[in-house]
């Protein structure tokens, strides 16, 4: 179990470290929203489907929020 957690964290770090350009606001919002949604789903003790759904909804809302911030700056 511990090896799986370590492998997941290492994989996430590799994926994030592979970015070749700075993130745009929608991308940042999607990442933060997905992490927050997944975290909230885990803390509330939801099932796997609930946690994944919360992460997807959080990512979508974060992306839309980032896109709105990006559009307001132009």
pLDDT tens per residue, range 39-73:
888 888 888 888 888 989 999 999 999 999 988 88
% of the chain beyond a pLDDT of 70: 95
What total of structural domains would you count in the chain? 1
The verdict on residue 6 lying in a domain is no
- Mean pLDDT computed over every residue of the chain: 85
The verdict on residue 25 lying in a domain is yes
Task: Kindly report the backbone phi and psi dihedral angles of residue 43, in degrees, each rounded to the nearest multiple of 5, phi listed first.
Answer: -65, -35
Query: What are 14's two structure tokens?
Result: 């590799």
Cα separation, 50 vs 37, whole angstroms: 10
pLDDT at position 41 is: 87
Provide the residue range defining the domain that includes 62. Answer: 21-72
């Amino acid at each position: 179990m511990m090896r799986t957690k370590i492998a997941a964290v290492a994989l996430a770090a590799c994926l994030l470290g592979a970015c070749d350009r700075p993130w745009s606001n929608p991308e940042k919002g999607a990442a933060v929203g997905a992490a927050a949604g997944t975290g909230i789903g885990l803390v509330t003790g939801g099932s796997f489907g609930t946690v994944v759904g919360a992460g997807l909804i959080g990512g979508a809302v974060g992306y839309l929020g980032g896109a709105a911030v990006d559009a307001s700056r132009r």
